[in-house]
Amino acid sequence: MDLKTTYLGLKLKNPIVPSASPLSRNLESMKRLEDAGAAAIVMYSLFEEQVEHEAAELDHYLAYGTHSYQEALSYFPTPEEYNLGPDQYLEFLHQAKQSLGIPVIGSINGISSGGWIDYARKMEQAGADAIELNIYYIPTDPRLASQEVEDRYVSVLHAVKRAVKIPVAVKLSPYFSSFAHVAVRLDEAGANGLVLFNRFYQPDIDLEELEVKPNVILGTSDATRLPLRWIAILHGMVKTSLAATSGIHSAEDVIKMIMVGADVTMMCSALLKHGPGHITSVLEGVNKWMVEHEYLSVEQMKGSMSQASVVDPSAFERAQYMKALNRFR
């Protein structure tokens, strides 16, 4: 079976790419991911806050006033909770490129147009094959119109594209009033790829300590439904590469995403739960399914179940809503 695919212009041996996670924080686990069959790896994210503030300055900002307003400020992370050190990040990225035989994609997380964007260029110089721009932004200002939010995303993309020559993918959340419009705008603005979707980590409350607590809950295959729908809709609508993330756990999840139009599928929770070797079993499952259903290549499968390809395109829109409710027993 021919599992090769193209993502961001990169020729990959298969469509499984580990997304940014703790597994990309050391070379040993990255090598294990490669040995298990990963086609490329997305580095853990370098945050805007890491670049904009020196560790001591960040410590000052986060510690200032905590004795007076301890309950109110206790949800802020301490400096030790950040992956401090943008220069160390760049050095590690360089080491990863020297040690691995697969593409390494740098990840940068920010939303402003500050000096942190220069680190995208430094990632390129360190050897990154591409950059994933992870825009984690929750607009809470009620005076901020949706158009302004969209403009900010496009502005950041433009700034990063001006800084580098390598491909740039944008990792997005689904929380837009017109997601298709945003996707087309970013495509036209030069995004080489769209990664659907960023999963906002929701805070929790400790009822005993009366503190807001960060809490990571690993995703399940149920989370694939949202990116599956939107990749199916966007396939053929945009020229840019499409990556599916959120809930990719099994061979079936991978196959479904490819069939609706994804160029690659990104895994995180499944690898944190089962380890790097899980990639091997998923690839074996994909191969087995393709043999049983007489598919010769991933390219043959790609987009065959997109909205533009299915008999009833409305199945990805409102029409299925009543059917789903009526069939539930």
The average pLDDT across 144-170 equals 95
Beta partners for 17?
A: 266
- State yes or no: pLDDT of 13 exceeds 90: yes
Residues 6 or more apart whose Cβ sits within 8 Å of residue 321: none
Specify the pairing of strand 10-12 against strand 5-7. antiparallel
Distance, CA of 323 to CA of 295 (rounded, Å): 30
11 Cβ neighbours under 8 A, 6+ residues apart: 4
| Residue 271 CA, distance from chain mean position | 15
Question: pLDDT tens digits for 194-253?
Answer: 999 987 677 889 899 999 987 777 878 888 999 999 999 999 999 999 999 999 999 999
Domains and CATH numbers, the chain: 5-327 (3.20.20.70)
Q: How far is CA 102 from CA 37, 140, 285, in A?
A: 10, 39, 22
Beta 204-206 vs 211-213: how paired, if at all? antiparallel
Q: Name the nearest CA neighbour of 50 among 73, 74, 82, 77.
A: 82
Q: Which residue has the higher pLDDT, 48 or 61?
A: 48
For 13, the token pair is 């041996």
For 65-82, the DSSP string reads TTTTSHHHHTTSPPGGGS
Express as a percent the part of the chain with pLDDT over 70.
85
